[in-house]
Structure 1
Amino acid sequence: MRTRASAALALLTVTVAAGCGGAGGRQAATHGHALAGAPRARSAPQAPPPPRAIDCAKASCVALTFDDGPGPYTETLLNELQAAGARATFFMLGENVASFPHAVRRAALAGHEIGNHSWSHPQLTTLPSASVRAQVQRTQRAIERASGGVTPKLMRPPYGAVDKRVSGDIAMPEVLWSVDTLDWKIRDTRRVERAALGQAHRGSIVLMHDIHKTTVAAVPTVLAGLRKKGLTPVTVSELFSTDKPMQAGVAYGERVPPVPAPSVPQRAAEPPR
């Protein structure tokens, strides 16, 4: 009996010792594995900042727009815009959105405007109406998913090619441009800077492309130069916010500030007789 009791006691001692040593390590490893596999607490969903109180009927506003993204340089561009406290409008291609969803979401959360630039950049006037609508609607859905629910309100037709039929198929305000930097062609940072700053004026819509590294490199100088000229970078919707609402089927290339009525000199009051 004593032999069996001693053996049992020895076995218990070995088991406890193992539990305090090797098994403890295994328990720690198991605990760590459980933590690694456990679902992480999600942060509360963020919402875009409220619209800014900018009156472009009084302020000298200019809209910077970037086409064909998102791409590998879009987040660098977002960093530069954030550092300057500037907002812009991104006309995105649906086929690129799924590859860079974080950039889409980040742009939306920063208060930038996201517009539709078609799914694959075809010339819409060469497509049948069903294909035009598919290009637009498919991109709308992709942006909504990636951005967390932002539905584009503006459309930039590729190449600026639009006619009455395509306008009806798009069924959104169409945004063109008044300053073409030709950045897609020249691929030179200094020339992009000169093109943007040399042509931009109050009410301009400036066309650039965030898929080009040379363009993104030009943005800090462009932003600083615009401010030096007294121009405030805004989104397209902000540019037209104090006008009548933007209309579907209407192409917007520039905001022309109203011309003030000429002042009429008043005749001096005649002295009483």
Structure 2
Amino acid sequence: MSSSSLRLLVTSVLLATVSVFDVVVAGPVANGALQERHHSHEMRSALPGSWFHTEEGEVHKLFRRQNLDAGGYPAVGSPAWTAAYPSGTPDNTKLPQAWVDKLNAAVAAGTIPNIPQTTVTNGGTVYPNGVQRDSPEVCSADDFVCRSPDDVWDAPNGTVAIGFDDGPLQPSGQLYDFLAANNQKATHFYIGINILGNPDLFNRAYATMGDDIAVHTWTHPYMTSLANIDVLAQLGYTMQIIHDSTGGRLPRYWRPPYGDIDNRVRAIAKQVFNMTAIIWNHDTGDWTGASPDKIKGEIQGWLNGPKSPGLIILEHELSASCVQGFMEAYPLFAQNGWTTTSTATLVSAPGSGPWQNAANNTGPVTGAAVGGVVPAIVTTSSSAPATTTNSTAAAAATSTPKKSRADQTSRPVAMTLAALSGFAALLLL
């Protein structure tokens, strides 16, 4: 059984258990649990103010609001801030027109490939008959089937990219304490609805610690299963809340949930929002509920191996065991001669950084991309061809795909409600 199948199985068990208590909240679920996966939600309100229309290549105009001229950005966590965003899955009929116009223009120009949506099954995602996920035309990254040259997979030699998915959540506080105590910068691939539910933790990571912020979608769906307009909504709203909560900064990077991305989704992210996907080349399996010792052991094995390429490790801030596993493994990086740096900073070209329109978290925000010319947009053909695991031995040799059921530690049969509240966040892997 594939890793995607394992994740869906875990999700089904959690849903069946938690549904007994009918956990329903007006906003994001506490501790990230269930994250709107089994409840329908509507927009709290329409976005305030009217929107400027975009001009080609000026991504920042997609997110400017006219009403900001009068009062500035609402305070993060305030009622005005909270009311501006969807409390669950975004309503694709209420998107800013500037986003929709930009998407439609890209489709009309032929720069968004016409790849069919996948169907989510117990085995992950399935394309319609005749569509080959490992073909250069599709290039699905799920389970390392295909490496696109437009994604980031590897860190520079001898370096470990420090980054965490799925926050901000309750366990994030302990992680942030540890990072601050060790003067370690990290990239947080944040879920939009978790920012909405945990503004204080967001502020701590961004404003107090000065960490890098990246996009991990609004509600953590399989992105290839969505229509173009819903891909737009998942990325756009997450960029919007980050933009509005950082003084107008726009993330340069995003990470697809489950590594589920293909050339269609890839192109929407780049063509409309100028974002590049960061994948990973090693997976701790912390999302399975693995023990801290097991997580530490996985990392130890990689650190003892070759230092080329560097490590981009899939880790999460969604449970106490995830955080504890990282903290226990952290001293091993320096002991084994590796350098650690925030993922977004590490993979950025010289002169750029984690933001499209600012040099850092404290400097001025500009209307144009920082670091020179805006990176080239994705097209349906590339001078650097996509590689698949069947044809590229090096990629397979240096990457550890998401684990199959046989590789995982068995989950206890009996689970207390306290444990369940933490593990329910596995829905947002």
Normalised to the residue count of structure 1, the TM-score between the two structures is 0.65
Pair member with larger Rg? 1
TM superposition shift of 1:145 = 3.0
Structure with a larger share of its residues in helix: 1
1:208 maps onto 2:338 in alignment: no
1:139 maps onto 2:257 in alignment: no
Question: Which one is further off, 205-214 or 142-151?
Answer: 142-151
CA contact (8 A) 1:115 1:155 kept: yes
1:231 maps onto 2:362 in alignment: no
TM superposition shift of 1:242 = 5.2
Q: Separation in 2 of the partners of 1:117 and 1:174?
A: 10
Classify the secondary structure of the residue corresponding to 2:255.
coil
1:80 maps onto 2:175 in alignment: no
Tell me which amino acid in the other structure corresponds to 1:96.
Answer: N
TM superposition shift of 1:164 = 1.0
Tell me which amino acid in the other structure corresponds to 1:240.
Answer: V
TM superposition shift of 1:148 = 4.5
Q: Separation in 2 of the partners of 1:149 and 1:237?
A: 18
Partner residue in 2 for 1:114: 213
Partner residue in 2 for 1:20: none
Q: Separation in 1 of the partners of 2:169 and 2:200?
A: 11
Q: Separation in 2 of the partners of 1:212 and 1:248?
A: 36
Q: Which runs of 5+ in 2 are unaligned?
A: 1-74, 76-154, 353-374, 387-394, 396-429
CA contact (8 A) 2:162 2:187 kept: yes
Q: Separation in 2 of the partners of 1:242 and 1:152?
A: 14
Which residue of 162, 166, 169 maps to 2:261?
162
Which residue of 276, 287, 290 maps to 1:173?
276
Identical amino acids, percent of aligned pairs:
30
TM superposition shift of 1:74 = 0.9
1:60 maps onto 2:158 in alignment: yes
Q: Separation in 1 of the partners of 2:334 and 2:166?
A: 26
Q: Separation in 2 of the partners of 1:247 and 1:214?
A: 40
TM superposition shift of 1:247 = 6.1
TM superposition shift of 1:197 = 2.7
Closer, same or farther in 2 for the Cα pair 1:248/1:83, shift >3 Å? farther
TM superposition shift of 1:161 = 1.1
Closer, same or farther in 2 for the Cα pair 1:72/1:146, shift >3 Å? farther
Tell me which amino acid in the other structure corresponds to 1:211.
Answer: L
1:194 maps onto 2:297 in alignment: yes
Q: Separation in 2 of the partners of 1:177 and 1:129?
A: 24
Partner residue in 2 for 1:124: 223
The CA RMSD measured in Å over matched residues stands at 2.6
1:96 maps onto 2:96 in alignment: no
Tell me which amino acid in the other structure corresponds to 1:125.
Answer: T
Closer, same or farther in 2 for the Cα pair 1:84/1:175, shift >3 Å? same
TM superposition shift of 1:194 = 1.2
TM superposition shift of 1:193 = 1.2
Q: Which runs of 5+ in 1 are unaligned?
A: 1-44, 46-55, 257-273
TM superposition shift of 1:60 = 2.9
